Structure 1
Amino acid sequence: MPDELDRTPLDRTFFDRHVTEVARDLLGRVLVRTTPRGPIELRLTEVEAYDGADDPGSHAYRGRTDRNAAMFGPPGHAYVYFTYGMWHCLNLVCGPEDKASGVLLRAGEIIRGVEQARGRRPTARRDSELAKGPARLATALDVDLTQYGADVCPPPVPATDTPFRVLRGAPADPDTVLAGPRTGLSGDGAATPWRFWIAGDPTVSPYRPHVPRRRPVRAGTVAP
């Protein structure tokens, strides 16, 4: 599959659109994560859209903070956050600038750099589980807060100069794209159908409604 993909990098205009439009259009695209050991490539199969001040489910619903500042743009940058005291999650910021919208990358298929991903996800029983869920995806790609705010649409430079690029890849057939409620949300944003995924793809994570946490997550818990 990697040799059949369109390897043209997406430019900033791709991300400078409404977040739900970008989210749908990201399915089938390829995220390239450059590491000292070589690139890892991920075909995106599941995402969630978050729309800032207009979306109670968004980290930016109540305004700008030190944590969410990257969401306010410009578009085409990475917003990485740390959750439950142990997991990172990767989002791509969308436009227009100051709107604070972004797409959470929930799941995908590792199509290059599988051995690297396996080394970071030794509990995965099969390759389809390496990036099946947002924390698993970030772990497999070695994503943490050092990539916060990274430009995913930099000018042409050697690949080692940037941690991320997004390639045109092979966009998902619109007839195969499904939509439903976002995972794990409660309150006013819980029913908003802004989770998008490729139907039948084995890398897509299972939907889980919000369940109140009664005790802290312990070390060794499988990444969501």
Structure 2
Amino acid sequence: MIDFSAPADVVAPQLLGATIHIHGVGVRLTEVEAYLGSEDEAAHTYRGQTPRNAAMFGPPGRLYVYLSYGIHRAGNLVCAPVGTGQGCLLRAGEVTSGVSLAQERRGEVPFHRLAQGPGNLGRALGLNLSDNGAQPEITESPEEVEWVRGPRIGITKNTDAPLRFWIPGHATVSGRRHRPPA
């Protein structure tokens, strides 16, 4: 059972293989990154609570949805006790239900790229800013999933922290798929 009240780096590998269902689309998570609040310079919550990141300080298991680069809606699942500001960024996954809807949202891309990368995953799921703080439906993986961890990607602070978790060799995993794990 996924224990969202645990720290994000404990929750992250538990999310791999789980399926998140939002707005008619299900995505089996294949890659996530943990962000550890005030202990983590790369976290949106490093400097404390703001109106923008308030959902990250709320109940565990809820969504934190934000606008990335002014165009992409990315999502995190809040972790750790209320007030902690930790979460797991949803980086990549495999669309398992609502495929035609995900394709409509994403356009003409290969199947394995429908939810590859945080912005693309958010678009496939139809995330919008009004989903911030919502409780998504999550179906846990029926089997144990092999995973590896290594440095996060696409950030400029705390880059060496081994807080990126992924299913090795899975086609949906975003960049640096073959980088040796930490």
Q: What is the CA-CA distance between 1:84 and the residue it aligns to?
A: 1.1
- Contact 1:94 1:103 (8 Å CA) reproduced: yes
Question: Where does residue 14 of structure 2 map in the other structure?
Answer: 25
Selected match of 1:195 from 143, 152, 164: 164
SS at match of 2:75: strand
Q: Which runs of 4+ in 1 moved over 4 A?
A: none
- Contact 2:74 2:122 (8 Å CA) reproduced: yes
Listed one character per residue, the Cα deviations across residues 152-178 of structure 1 (whole Å, up to 9, x for unaligned) are xxxxxxxxxxxx2001133543xx311
Selected match of 1:180 from 134, 140, 150: 150
**Partners in 1 of 2:32 and 2:137 — Cα distance?**
17
Question: Where does residue 127 of structure 2 map in the other structure?
Answer: 143
Q: Does 1:170 align with 2:170?
A: no
- Contact 1:73 1:97 (8 Å CA) reproduced: yes
SS at match of 1:119: helix
SS at match of 1:169: coil
**Partners in 1 of 2:40 and 2:143 — Cα distance?**
26
The amino acid of 1:64's aligned partner reads Q
- Contact 1:88 1:138 (8 Å CA) reproduced: yes
- Structure 1: give runs of 5+ residues left out of the alignment: 1-9, 152-163, 209-224
Listed one character per residue, the Cα deviations across residues 66-112 of structure 1 (whole Å, up to 9, x for unaligned) are 11111112111100010211111010001111110000000000011
Listed one character per residue, the Cα deviations across residues 139-164 of structure 1 (whole Å, up to 9, x for unaligned) are 0110010101112xxxxxxxxxxxx2
- Contact 1:48 1:104 (8 Å CA) reproduced: yes
Q: What is the CA-CA distance between 1:60 and the residue it aligns to?
A: 0.4
- Structure 2: give runs of 5+ residues left out of the alignment: 178-182
Over the aligned positions, Cα root-mean-square deviation in angstroms equals: 1.5
Question: Where does residue 116 of structure 2 map in the other structure?
Answer: 132
Structure 1 residues 171, 20: closer, same or farther in 2, change over 3 A?
Answer: farther
Q: What is the CA-CA distance between 1:207 and the residue it aligns to?
A: 3.1
Q: Does 1:89 align with 2:74?
A: yes
SS at match of 1:56: coil
- Contact 2:58 2:133 (8 Å CA) reproduced: no
- How many residues of Structure 1 are paired with residues of Structure 2 in the alignment? 177
Give the TM-score normalised by structure 1: 0.76
